[in-house]
Amino acid sequence: MSQERWSAVDGYIAETLLGEDPVLEQALAASVAAGLPAIAVSPAQGKLLQLLVRIHGAESVLELGTLGGYSTIWMARALPPGGRLLSLEVNPAYAEVAGANIAHAGLSDCVEVRVGAALQTLRTLVEQDAGPFDLAFIDADKESTPEYFTLALELVRPGGVIITDNVVRRGAIADAETEDPRAAGMRRFHELLAADRLGAGRVSATTIQTVGSKGYDGFTVALVEEVRSA
């Protein structure tokens, strides 16, 4: 099956199930115009994130990797009144584009984009006891995903959900000898997810491979268990 076919199906899904969305399309257009890389989640993936926020009834969401705020807008739209989303972005120019897109979507009141390296910001959030968040979406630099997940565990409540993007990397994750540091990061992430590395039964997770307009990749969905063994 070819990339062309996967993209055609993503187009079909967007056309039939998702419909026109001028605000999200404008957010992508403004991101392209500002020179941001075209690496946001696909529309179908954005809708999945939105559905997960809704299904989970999340009122507080933590995002790592804002880019132009595309996934941010998908998720923030699912928040109930009084809900909040905090998104972390290292690149101030990207954060500025995201801020404008979020304002255009009418979401500035419930979304904050915080500029800085996510590792540092996360440590500060933990120190400040800024949680608990109901749901986290990890989508920043792939090499640091294991560290992000470990810190996110300090901020996401028991019963919360942590979703991670780009975990399969065109299949490179299955290659123990991979020289792609991003794929190696995702292998370390999976090793970490193995229950005994985090403390028995602390999270329950699976990874789903995906194809579509963004190529061949995958999402990990992890549930932070309510009952933690000592």
Give the helix, strand, coil percentages of the chain, each rounded to 5: 45, 25, 30
Q: Does 65 bind ligand SAH (CB under 6 A)?
A: yes
Q: Give the footprint of ligand DHB on this chain (CB under 6 A).
A: 39, 65, 139, 165-166
Q: For 185, what's the count of Cα atoms within 13 Å in the CB-facing half-sphere?
A: 20
Q: Does 85 bind ligand SAH (CB under 6 A)?
A: no
Q: Does 88 bind ligand SAH (CB under 6 A)?
A: yes
Q: What's the closest the beta carbon of residue 139 comes to ligand DHB, in angstroms?
A: 5
CB closer to ligand SAH out of 70 and 189: 70
- Comparing every residue's Cβ against Mg ion, the nearest one is 165
Any idea how long the chain is?
A: 230
**Contact partner at residue 88 from ligand DHB, Mg ion, ligand SAH, none, CB < 5 to 8 Å by partner kind:** ligand SAH
Give the C-alpha separation, 187 to 143, whole Å: 10
φ and ψ of 119, to 5 deg: -60, -45
**Phi-psi bin for 36: left (phi > 0), alpha (psi -120 to 50), beta?**
beta
* Angle of helix 145-155 versus helix 181-193 axis, rounded to 10: 40
Q: Does 117 bind ligand SAH (CB under 6 A)?
A: yes
Sole binder of ligand SAH in the list 7, 13, 30, 91 (CB under 6 A): 91
Binding-site ranges for Mg ion (CB under 5 A):
139, 165-166
Binding-site ranges for ligand SAH (CB under 6 A):
39-41, 65-67, 70-71, 88-91, 94, 117-118, 139-141
